[in-house]
Structure 1
């Protein structure tokens, strides 16, 4: 069915009416209709109209374009930016019904961005586009600076990109500084001395440790390097840029299933009430089912999220949905609301590797569904990324010691070695990483100043 921009504007007005009836509370919405080349470009640059240059974005563009030209992959129907006003891109080649469904889907994302607590606490939608534009200008300035140049900037970005998720893992929670910890320990020490009982006056009160760096393990490895590393100011600024842009995307990582499930729930209910003619309605059902269909051998977050929201509405009513979309993240959403009945309906099971084969370990029966649910919640969002933290800075030789918080999942050693090299490039001195193997034996990856990595048994330091 042929359509033009005026047709899309009319449908958008109808969609907004239904979105308000549904109870959505969203930012002002803007749409930009683009061709497939532009969509591939926006996808490579994570949707941002302004982004600093780096070879990885060009690589992503060429890979996607090649696969698309060979009909080996499709392109997203839309891309949505968490900003105020909210900006979304629509594919020019979409059919009219697909544009209608996509616009309704976008209003679901828009509402989620504005109201979910992780986005409200972790991002500033009012300044999103300005932040990315400023970051791009700063890095382009370093590239054009004769005393720095592209090669030096690229080396810092390469290293920064490989460790960018080693930042604070709790969105909206400020890490306590060493100064605050020091003051707290000193006050506790003074209080313990002053409040000793008369009979305990001879009892020794051990002074607190206040000269260790950091005083307590620190999740924000990138921030620690910025604070204590021997970097030039422009290098620290690049790290700050990569860090704050990663922090912007953290809520999206933490709410992928919820966000997509909510958008599917919204487009489904909005489109049902648009009085579509028969031809459009049949295509709507086909498109919707394509989006929320299960993926053979994989997990479709659209499908899982949509089914959980629909189940919640049936059990508790629509008001409960708005409470859930405002307060939860994927890990809590799945742990609280993925029931045994849903596990069975979704045909979920858990598998593991035994010797050289993969075997089914759990099915959605009375006991198995809990293991499936908990494992899915445990590995969602930031839980899918290894937890690395700083535990000590040796003041004598400036060796930086990191710890992998072992949760039963081993590091992929080949990746760990390369990542450790990039950390050493940024740090400039020796870096050690303490981790564990499958049998829980502790070992250490050591990277020296020449970027040579060796592995030693931690019991043989």
Structure 2
């Protein structure tokens, strides 16, 4: 490390002082400094120090380690856990300036976790770490009692629809499941519910943290030798991408614009009550679309065709497309329509986006494994109503 713990404590105290001056309302903050192997592990396990065993975590670890080895991806500078106290992991290899910037960024996340209504209504930060530890212990208990293979099979099936929480709840309450199977489904429902607020507020959360690390470091009186690195690092974090929307960039630009137009009090109000979809619809203005030169395109064989640009009515179309792909809007909405003689009928809420039928069929097989009877999924393909049917034996057919 090119810095000492005494230096980190010094800068952390200065940052905390600025946090208090600006009125950020945070949980007590704790930092752990870890190396890149540990950061890979925490990234795979979503920041949780205790997670249940499953092969997919090992697969993700090997993939990330390979990508990192060949410089195809970079490691996160930090990871922050929505808990009370708030836990954050800092990468040991960071420079001193990067640690200072990262700590300021973390306090932005901390404030967002504590005060945004999506988190306040759907998570209990005081119980986070304890709850995940209890869940891990329970699943390990069932591994010992019924065998790793049986538990893993069930987890494989649950993972395929873990964000379709209403459908999982229906299976738990109405399916022909053993007690241990119902409890594991309940565990995944709780853990998925914990992470959904992060999916629903990614742009706001990262934009808010970026807004505050930029504001705080500009007033910290960091040494002149660090200032160029600060600007370089900050600009890298919020740099627009040529291929997709950078949530740090988009969120930062909107919060800066809001503070400029309405003042500091308004951005705290927005932070408290919005989620990404409402944030985009209400505060991504035509002027911002023009400033960021946003456009919408589609592919036609090997060609890219621009469909919408920021001027005229393009901004509304761009916002609609953005919102359609935010958070839970990015996954198919599947509803339970009824049950006949044990046979389950599901319906895909069609919004212009068709299901990939191979994936739909494989997912139905996973559901049949838990439901143990025939399942029919109603959807649309090429403008016509169709049914994807999975028999009790796991055979797929289309009507």
TM-score in same-fold range (> 0.5): yes
Give the secondary structure class of the aligned counterpart of 1:133. helix
Larger radius of gyration between Structure 1 and Structure 2: 1
Cα deviation, 1:261-281, whole Å, max 9, x if unaligned, reads 000001001111100111111
The correspondence for 2:171, drawn from 209, 212, 225, is 225
Q: 1:370 to 1:326 in 2, by over 3 A?
A: same
- 3-state SS of paired residue (1:89): strand
Deviation at 1:20, TM superposition (A): 1.1
Give the aligned partner of residue 150 of structure 1: 148
Q: How many residues align?
A: 399
Q: Which moved more, 1:150-159 or 1:66-75?
A: 66-75
Aligned-pair CA distance for 1:47 = 0.6
Q: CA RMSD in A?
A: 1.1
Give how far 1:355 is off. Answer: 6.4
Pairwise mapping of residues 84-103 of structure 1 onto structure 2 (< 5 A)?
A: 84-103=84-103
Equivalent residue number for residue 437 of structure 1: 381
Gaps of 5+ in 1: 168-219, 457-461
Match of 1:253 in 2: 199
Question: Is residue 2:5 matched to residue 1:5?
Answer: yes
Q: Distance in 2 between matches of 1:247 and 1:315?
A: 35
Q: Contact 1:109 / 1:262 at 8 angstroms: preserved in 2?
A: yes
CA distance in 2, matches of 1:153, 1:69: 33
Tell me by how many angstroms 1:337 deviates. Answer: 0.4
Indicate the residue corresponding to 1:336 in structure 2.
Answer: 282
Residues in 2 aligned to 1:273 and 1:356: alpha-carbon distance in whole angstroms: 49
Supply the distance in 1 between the matched residues of 2:79 and 2:357 (Cα, whole angstroms). 35
**How big is the shift at 1:358?**
3.5
1:104-183 alignment to 2 at 5 Å?
Answer: 104-145=104-145, 148-167=146-165
d(CA) in 2 for partners of 1:99, 1:47 = 18
Is residue 317 of structure 2 the alignment partner of residue 371 of structure 1?
Answer: yes
- How far the C-alpha of 1:377 sits from its partner, in A, is 1.9
Partners of 1:311 and 1:52 in 2: how far apart? 43
Q: CA deviation at 1:246?
A: 0.2
Alignment partners' CA distance in 1, 2:227 and 2:134: 44
374-383 or 442-451: bigger deviation: 374-383
> Are 2:188 and 1:242 aligned?
yes
Q: Which range moved further: 26-35 or 16-25?
A: 16-25
Cα offset, 1:327, TM superposition: 0.3
The structural deviation recorded for 1:354 is 4.6
The normalised TM-score by structure 2 is: 0.98
**1:352: Cα distance to partner?**
2.6
What does 1:39-50 correspond to in 2, within 5 Å? 39-50=39-50
Partner of 1:82: 82
Alignment partners' CA distance in 2, 1:317 and 1:84: 29
Residues 203-254 of structure 1, C-alpha deviation per residue, up to 9 Å, x if partnerless? Answer: xxxxxxxxxxxxxxxxx11000000100000000110001110000010000
Query: Cα offset for 1:417?
Result: 1.2
TM-score (norm 1): 0.85
Aligned partner (choices 381, 385, 394) of residue 451 of structure 1: 394
| Counterpart Cα distance in 2 of 1:71 and 1:378 | 32
| In structure 2, distance between residues paired with 1:222 and 1:358 | 38
3-state SS, counterpart of residue 275 of structure 1: coil
Spell out, residue by residue over 1:10-46, the C-alpha distance to the aligned partner (whole angstroms, 9 max, x if none). Answer: 1100000011112100000000000000000011111
- Structure 1 residues 140-194: Cα deviation after superposition (integer angstroms, max 9, x where no partner): 001111xx11000000000000011111xxxxxxxxxxxxxxxxxxxxxxxxxxx
Matched-pair contact (CA < 8 Å) for 1:388–1:405: yes
Residue-by-residue CA offset, 1:302-339 (whole Å, 9 max, x unaligned)? 00000000000000001100000000000000000001
Matches within 5 A, 1:234-383: 234-354=180-300, 357-383=303-329
Deviation at 1:370, TM superposition (A): 1.1
1:420 aligns with 2:364: yes
Instruction: Tell me if structure 2 keeps the 8 A contact 1:22–1:270.
Output: no
- In the alignment, the residues of structure 1 paired with residue 143 and residue 37 of structure 2 have an alpha-carbon distance, to the nearest angstrom, of 26
Instruction: Return structure 1 stretches of 4+ with deviation > 2 angstroms.
Output: 352-358
Q: Is the 8 A contact 1:293 1:300 kept in 2?
A: yes
Quote how far apart the aligned CAs of 1:378 are: 2.7
**Equivalent in 354, 372, 376 of residue 410 of structure 1:** 354
Question: What secondary structure, in the 3-state scheme, does the structure 1 residue paired with 2:140 have?
Answer: helix
Q: Distance in 2 between matches of 1:19 and 1:311?
A: 21
